[in-house]
Amino acid sequence: MTAGLLATTLVPGAALTAASAPASAADSTTFTVGLLNEADSFNPFLGIEAESYEMWGLTYDYMIHYSMKDMSPEPGLATSWKTSDDGLTWTFDIRTGVKWSDGQDLTAEDIAFTYNRVLEGGPWGSTWGSYLTGVTKVAAPDATHVVLTLKKPNAVLPLLPIPIVPEHVWKDVTTSQVKSYSAEPKDGQPVVGEGPFKLVEGTAGGSTYRFEANKDYWGGAPHVDQVVFRVYKSEDPMVQALIKGEIDFAEGISPLQVKSLQGQSGITAHNGDSPGFDEIAFNAGSVDTKTGKPIGDPNPAVLDPKFRHALGFAIDRDQLITKVYQGAGQPGDSIIPPAYSSYRWTPPADQAFTFDLDKAGQLLDQAGYTMGSDGQRTMPDGSPIGTLRLDARSSSDTSLNTMNYFKEWLDQLGIKSTVRTYESSKLTDIILQGDFDVFQWGWYVEPDPDSMLSYMTCGQRGGWSDSWYCNPQYDALYQHQHEETDQAKREQEVKQMQQLLFADSPYLVTAYNTIGEAVRSDRFACFQPQPDPGGIWLIQYGVHNYISARPADQAGNCDGVSSAIGATAASESTGTSNTFWVGAGVVVVLLAGAGGVLAMRRRSSVGERE
Amino acid sequence: MSLAATPESVTAAESGAVASAGRSRRRGYGRYVWAKVAGACGSLLFMLVVNFFLFRVLPGDPARTLGRGRFTTPEQLHAFDATYGLDKSLPQQFLTFLQNTATGDLGVSLKYRVPVSQLLMDRLGTTLLLVGVSTLLATAIGVWLGIRGAWRRGGGFDKASTGASLTLYSMPEWWLGLLLIAVLAVGVGPVPGIFPTGGLHSIDAQPGTVSYLLDTAWHLTLPVITLTLAYLADYSLIMRSSLLDELGQDYLTTARAKGLRDIQVRNRHAVPNALLPTTTVIALNMGFVVAGAITVETVFSIPGLGLLGTEALEVPDYWVLQGVFMVASAGVILANLAANLLYGLLDPRVRT
């Protein structure tokens, strides 16, 4: 056995290349995507990673889709929907003629079944439960209608990103089984779903997942026959695989890689706007949520909203974008990123944060944090501020570099600080204990801002709130917008909330991030950004681009989507990159060394023979 | 099995010559074996207990790590803990853990929601293939290099091989791996990129066929080369120095005086004696095979045990961590035991 393995390993690779090279594109079209993280579960009730959501999106469909332009709700399995005047009853009309991949008809019953399982809670509800908050009953009065009954109006509806699973398969899965139910292909049978693709190969935590196109998909058959995901554990090999052509798409690469790939012919790379932000966060008042007594040891200065707000002018966001984000990002101000324009509040020009240390100093003076005789600012009562602790995450260079810059700017203001680094889970513990002053982290924001807004409420202290911010006025607005069914009014309230956060500054938003992506545009075309323009090509809300992606020579006008990556972009090659010359040099040295060893060996054996 | 059989055959052969001495020697080795086996079992048990508490003091909360960035209520966090038994007190969890381990149930991964035993089995094969083959290759080549080098100490071959293996030893494995990818997988100038950049097999490979085996071998070539080159010095340097120790010995002079050819003196007299320290190193390194090779697994995206463990640390995925460490420490303990038993056979002096 071992001898056989040894022998096969030693066989020259050239002979094997022919035997096992990927199948040519002549018979079927395979679109191969490189990911940097694996899917943690194919069971849509269990997984957590963004990659898993992508896999469910291919396998299953949703009642509501997200638009490519701004992620607003669009018809999916539900063709239309209406709500009662009191906002307590939602009725969805379900598309007819949709079939499961095993041939059975999809009906409203399947949707009601899925939602009722989520409502059951426990392991069924852990991923999706919050989307059905306030829903008391889900019913399917007939095959084409689903009715949701609510306790209180919920403005988050109709957005319901819950994958619909087939009742005839899942009704046999018990509550205790679902905790470890894998929903993976078994005995060569694909997973039963109604999405644009069928999972035919893949396991949770595995490194390859293969999907076959569902030619009967109601939204039209995908243009490619197969989608394959390969999980890479580091970025450089994934980029090399893209250059070599082993994969057609690389997801989640760094701005530096994007820059280097932009020169390669046949490859289109960009930093797509991702709906998330990075922030410098303060301890706005850590308390024991049961007794209400302060816990932890925050510096009294950071508890003061005026102090925090003043520091908003001590951050050179443009420099952060250039130096820390390598130009891939936008300066930030509010917790709702520009992608969600209808909910986003932008500070008026006279209030907006600029890099202005004089202004920051004036604001600090006004708030009583005046300069002491030793050149350091003092608390309003004259006692020293001490040293602010700036906590960064050890896993993120962005985090550490941001804090190092912030420390410099604080120095110039006359505030001493020190940068500490922690592993993320350790930092989470520290935050929950309240033993911190300032830290750097970030969030992704869902198309509906409700969840992000909720993290800043008093009720989330000790839960997801990491700033311990609590403002009854903010909480009242949060409750109100959550139940506000008039869209225009709701948007207004969401903007007021951002205004409050801007003034109280539990977070100083530093940047809106991007995600680096690269595609072999000489092979595949028709990737539309989401949001359009400026957004990302894959790992979107929904799986639109897997359906519209097609071989570059069949691109045409991409069904009239002008913003999609179209025909082959004939960019000129910039020649061989530096890595290659370094590599080549090393090869030459190694070969010379090997030659030397061989020569020595010859000579020594000659000596021996003599 | 073969280990148990060997002492019998050896002592049997010797007992032919001196019967009484043979019997006492057999008893001596038997006691030695028992002591070592009992010691190994003790270590295994101790390790099980330590593993449990070791990972519970890790910072972090699985529900929180796994849930960050999603719309989750505090109630849902508690529900997660309850589902996976994390809400119980530590002593209670420990009891459950002991019971489950005794029945062979290693728990369910918090991250992947599949049984840990299944994850371990999947990954163990991959790791054994990658690290096992590399260790065997490195051992064979390293020992050969060491012998050649020491026998003609200071010669051209010695200088070249010592220099090369030291250089490779001090080179970070991931960098060596990346260079190999850039040169042999992507191709540089006239060098064609013939090997894949990563992974364990091609997408369309059908398990169970000959081409599947070849495909796996083709994928493993670069990582195996990387690891072999990195491990070489471990063996070549030890073999070289222990052979050098033997060079001045009187028995070699005797052997030469008997008129034996140089190669016979080396292979029959010097090398067997010099192999003792190398055997220990080989046996111990075999124990680390199951721990995987984290950096090389990362660079070549090979899903092995090393990666499974490092990724589980981030959550922390207690049950996976416990499983991985159990396999890894069991590997080391067993290899240690094997080394001890082997040493007892090779060198009778250690038995007393």
What integer pLDDT is reported at residue A25 of this predicted model?
41
Q: Is residue B114 in some structural domain? A: no
CB contact under 8 Å between B83 and A122, yes or no, is yes
Residues from chain A that touch B300, judged by Cβ atoms under 8 A, are: 237
User: Considering CB atoms only, which of A237, A238, A444 is closest to B69?
Assistant: A444
Confidence of residue B74 (pLDDT cuts 50, 70, 90): low
Both structure tokens of B19: 């019967």
Residues from chain A that touch B200, judged by Cβ atoms under 8 A, are: 207
- Domain of B304, CATH number, reads 1.10.3720.10
Residue with tokens 């592993």: A423
What integer pLDDT is reported at residue B73 of this predicted model?
61
Residues from chain B that touch A589, judged by Cβ atoms under 8 A, are: none
User: Considering CB atoms only, which of A14, A233, A446 is closest to B194?
Assistant: A14
Residues B172 and B40 in one domain: no
Q: Is residue B112 in some structural domain? A: no
Residue A232 Cα, gap to closest chain B Cα (Å): 5
Q: Is B2 exposed, middle or buried (0-12, 13-18, 19+ CB in 10 A)?
A: exposed
HSE on the CB side for A281, CA within 13 Å?
Answer: 29
Residues B194 and B52 in one domain: no
pLDDT per position as a tens digit, B304-352: 888 888 888 877 788 888 888 888 888 888 888 888 888 777 776 666 5
Among the ranges given (A15-24, A554-563, B282-291), the one the predictor scored with the smallest mean pLDDT: A15-24
Residue with tokens 């008391």: A136
Residues B244 and B96 in one domain: no
What integer pLDDT is reported at residue A9 of this predicted model?
35
Residues B187 and B280 in one domain: yes
Residue span of the structural domain in which B58 resides: 34-103
Residues B85 and B128 in one domain: no
Helix (H, G, I), strand (E, B) or coil at B75: helix
- Whole-number Cα distances in Å, A409 to A248, A379, A402: 43, 19, 11
Residues B287 and B183 in one domain: yes
B271-288 helix and B210-247 helix, angle to the nearest 10 degrees: 140
Confidence of residue A95 (pLDDT cuts 50, 70, 90): very high
* CA-based nearest residue to A518, from A34, A31, A51, A24: A34
User: Considering CB atoms only, which of B161, B218, B220 is closest to A20?
Assistant: B218
Among the ranges given (A505-509, A598-602, B238-242, B264-268), the one the predictor scored with the smallest mean pLDDT: A598-602
pLDDT per position as a tens digit, B181-203: 888 888 777 777 788 887 787 77
- Cβ neighbours for B121, distance < 8 A, ≥ 6 positions apart: none
Domains and CATH numbers, chain A: 30-231 (3.40.190.10), 273-513 (3.10.105.10), 521-560 (no CATH)
Residue A131 Cα, gap to closest chain B Cα (Å): 8
User: Considering CB atoms only, which of A130, A231, A429 is closest to B73?
Assistant: A130
What integer pLDDT is reported at residue A333 of this predicted model?
92
Among the ranges given (A15-24, A187-196, A333-342), the one the predictor scored with the smallest mean pLDDT: A15-24
Q: Is residue B148 in some structural domain? A: yes
Residues B184 and B283 in one domain: yes
Q: How many domains does chain B have?
A: 2
The DSSP bridge partners found for residue A198 are: A212
Residues B138 and B167 in one domain: yes
What integer pLDDT is reported at residue A34 of this predicted model?
93
- Give the helix/strand (H/E) hosting A278: strand A268-282
CA dist A165 and A94 (Å) reads 15
Strands A330-331 and A524-525: unpaired
CB contact under 8 Å between B185 and A244, yes or no, is yes
Alpha helices by DSSP H, listed for A367-465, are 397-413, 424-433, 450-454
Residues B290 and B333 in one domain: yes
Chain B: residue whose CA lies nearest to A18: B194
Phi, psi of A541 (to 5 degrees): -85, 105
- Whole-number Cα distances in Å, A73 to A67, A69, A195, B249: 6, 11, 18, 86
Confidence of residue B123 (pLDDT cuts 50, 70, 90): confident
Residues from chain A that touch B65, judged by Cβ atoms under 8 A, are: 424-425, 428
Residue B251 Cα, gap to closest chain A Cα (Å): 22
Residue B7 Cα, gap to closest chain A Cα (Å): 25
Both structure tokens of B62: 């699985």
CA dist A277 and A198 (Å) reads 34
Q: Is B108 exposed, middle or buried (0-12, 13-18, 19+ CB in 10 A)?
A: buried
Residue B54 has pLDDT above 90, yes or no: no
Choose the final residue of a domain: B103, B129, B151: B103
Residue A442 Cα, gap to closest chain B Cα (Å): 9
Residues from chain B that touch A586, judged by Cβ atoms under 8 A, are: 179, 183
Of chain A, the percentage scoring pLDDT greater than 90 comes to 48
pLDDT per position as a tens digit, B134-166: 988 998 999 999 988 888 888 888 899 889 888
The DSSP bridge partners found for residue A83 are: A90
Residues B236 and B92 in one domain: no
Q: Is residue B18 in some structural domain? A: no
CA dist A583 and A561 (Å) reads 42
Confidence of residue A356 (pLDDT cuts 50, 70, 90): very high
Chain B: residue whose CA lies nearest to A243: B186
The answer to whether the peptide bond before residue A153 is cis (omega within 30 degrees of 0) is no
User: Is pLDDT larger for residue B26 or for residue A310?
Assistant: A310
DSSP class of residue A233? Answer: S
Average pLDDT estimate for A372-397:
90
Q: Is residue B124 in some structural domain? A: yes
Both structure tokens of A73: 């709700």
Residues from chain A that touch B194, judged by Cβ atoms under 8 A, are: 13-14, 17
Choose the final residue of a domain: B52, B78, B103: B103
| Number of residues that this document lists for chain A | 610
Q: Is residue B111 in some structural domain? A: no
Q: Is residue B115 in some structural domain? A: no
* CA-based nearest residue to A568, from A261, A247, A266, A246: A266
Residue B287 has pLDDT above 80, yes or no: no
Q: Is residue B28 in some structural domain? A: no
CB contact under 8 Å between B213 and A451, yes or no, is no
Answer yes or no: are the C-beta atoms of A179 and A123 closer than 8 Å.
yes
Residues from chain B that touch A230, judged by Cβ atoms under 8 A, are: 198-199, 203, 301
CB pairs under 8 A between A and B: 236
Average pLDDT estimate for A442-454:
87
Helix (H, G, I), strand (E, B) or coil at A379: coil
CB contact under 8 Å between B307 and A233, yes or no, is yes
User: Considering CB atoms only, which of B79, B188, B202 is closest to A587?
Assistant: B188
Residue A594 has pLDDT above 70, yes or no: no
| Mean predicted lDDT score pLDDT of chain A | 84
CA dist A402 and A388 (Å) reads 15
Choose the final residue of a domain: B103, B135, B150: B103
Residues B341 and B236 in one domain: yes
Residues B77 and B125 in one domain: no
Strands A30-35 and A249-253: parallel
CB contact under 8 Å between A604 and B179, yes or no, is no
What integer pLDDT is reported at residue A579 of this predicted model?
47
CA dist A436 and A393 (Å) reads 13
Among the ranges given (A263-277, B101-115, B242-256), the one the predictor scored with the smallest mean pLDDT: B101-115
CA dist A314 and A353 (Å) reads 9
* CA-based nearest residue to A202, from B244, B277, B203, B180: B203
Residue B45 Cα, gap to closest chain A Cα (Å): 28
Chain A: residue whose CA lies nearest to B220: A9
CB contact under 8 Å between A237 and B197, yes or no, is yes
What integer pLDDT is reported at residue A585 of this predicted model?
54
| Mean predicted lDDT score pLDDT of chain B | 79
